Amino acid sequence: MKNKYLQFEKTDELNTNLYIYGDIRKQDLIDRWFGDDESRVDAFSFKEALENVDTPNLTVRINSYGGSVSEGLAIYSLLSDFKGNLRTIVDGFACSAASVIFMAGKERIVPENGLLMIHNAWSSVEGDSNTMKKAAEDLEKITQPSVNIYVAKTGLPENEIKKMMDKEKWITSQEAFDLGFSTTQVKKDDAQQALEANYLFNLVLKLKEKDKEIKNLKEQLGDKNQNNNLNQIKEDAWASFFNTKK
């Protein structure tokens, strides 16, 4: 079955576009039971697609919320070994593992309405305190390769990258260029962005604006009670934006 979320298109003898539009993960039991195998991208499928590329220039277009760390790192490695000119473009979102894949490009582009999101690896675990401690230690080690990639590509200090990942940082087009995540500043958007991604993009920008407004007001007002009121205003702003209040 052809995976519609992982396709390549040879545009001419010099250029190929490869699209990653889905979750970054391996096939699981549900996929095997129900035959739902079209909404994911795994490293093995990507390797097969990459082997069909016979042009010197490759553009990888990404619209993905991310997924498995191991699959994302494997795809990053495969792209890093590409011998030609590699360009990566965000067509909407490149979150989590997808943002790591994005960093493989020699030229990296985040259009005006594109977003990156970086964060620490996470998992679920059951057990005693020793199990929990080991899980925490393991997650730090699992996160480190992604940290190393961001540091190497952006030139930012490791502690700054880690702070952003701790906050689950959303990164706009301008921020991506300023911080070194992207290499090319784009003024006009030509991304093939989905309606859902457009909505979420506007949501993130709106909330960023609200955070700036609250921060500025807090700097102007030193009274504790007034700051408490501002915290409540912030909560109300988020709630009303999500239409959770009647």
Question: Which residue is associated with the tokens 């689950």?
Answer: 168
Tokens of 107: 């030229």
Question: Which residue is associated with the tokens 């952003």?
Answer: 164
Does 80 participate in catalysis according to the annotation?
Answer: no
Rounded distance between C-alpha atoms, residue 228 and residue 242, angstroms: 22
Question: Which residue is associated with the tokens 């499928």?
Answer: 45
Rounded distance between C-alpha atoms, residue 129 and residue 236, angstroms: 37
DSSP H stretches of helix in 155-194: 158-166, 173-179
Rounded distance between C-alpha atoms, residue 180 and residue 156, angstroms: 8
Catalytic residue among 45, 96, 99, 146: 96
Q: Are 88 and 107 in contact (CB under 8 A)?
A: yes
Catalytic residue among 45, 68, 119, 146: 119
Tell me if residue 122 falls in helix, strand or coil.
coil
Rounded distance between C-alpha atoms, residue 102 and residue 71, angstroms: 13
Tell me if residue 32 falls in helix, strand or coil.
helix
Q: Give me the active site residues, please.
A: 96, 119
